[in-house]
Amino acid sequence: MEYIKKTAEGIAKHALEVISRVDKEQVELMVECINEADSTFIVGSGRSELVGKAFAMRLMHLGFRVYVVGDVTTPALTDKDCLIAISGSGETKTVTIAAETAKEVGTKVIGVTTDISSTLGKNADVVVNIDSKSKVPWKYYTSHVLKGNYDDLTPMGTLFEDSTHLFLDGLIASFMVRLNKKETDLEKLHSQDR
């Protein structure tokens, strides 16, 4: 139980610090892109994809048309859509290829990454920097390991993925306020076993 509590406290503290440093202007641009898009597409790989799918589900509950890249029912991107691409390193091939393809057809690309100078960061119209350790530890090494902030209890992309999940859940709450939606409104689009 000691490790569970220690790790949960560390992740929560880290996520709050990271989220407080996210550029507010980029968040507003992200909100604007989602609001104005005909459809929102989300792409990620591994755990980042799972975080993206959780966000996609909540956007759907709010009434947005949303698709996860790779699902068999996902249509083609258009210049009236937006793509949210999630990659800690910003170098995940499936994610960077999706972002490049989206740019070619005029789709707005929102990158969520730890590295704004990465391939994803350079191809994105909007970049949300979740400044966490990703699976590329050498990029994190000099700024965090040498200062004693590295913890093996949060391996590989855990800090990025958990921080991104909390950021995106906070963004859903922001949409709820902006759209004057209540939990009962979201429940109408929530699939339930009855």
Asked about 161 being catalytic, the answer comes back as yes
**Can you tell me the distance from the alpha carbon of 92 to that of 96, in angstroms, rounded to the nearest whole number?**
6
The answer to whether 83 and 110 have CB atoms below 8 angstroms apart is yes
Active site residue: 32, 104, 161, 187, which one?
161
How many residues in the chain? 194
Terminus-to-terminus CA distance in the chain, angstroms? 36
Task: Supply the CATH number for residue 91's domain.
Answer: 3.40.50.10490
pLDDT at 183: 78
**What's the whole-model pTM score?**
0.86
- Mean pLDDT score of the chain, rounded to an integer? 87
Residue 189 lies in a domain: no
For residue 106, which amino acid is it? G
> Count of domains in the chain?
1
**Does the pLDDT of residue 127 top 50, yes or no?**
yes
Range of the domain at 154: 2-181
Q: What is the pLDDT of residues 24-53, one digit of tens each?
A: 999 999 999 999 999 999 999 999 999 999
Other beta carbons less than 10 A from residue 38's beta carbon: 11
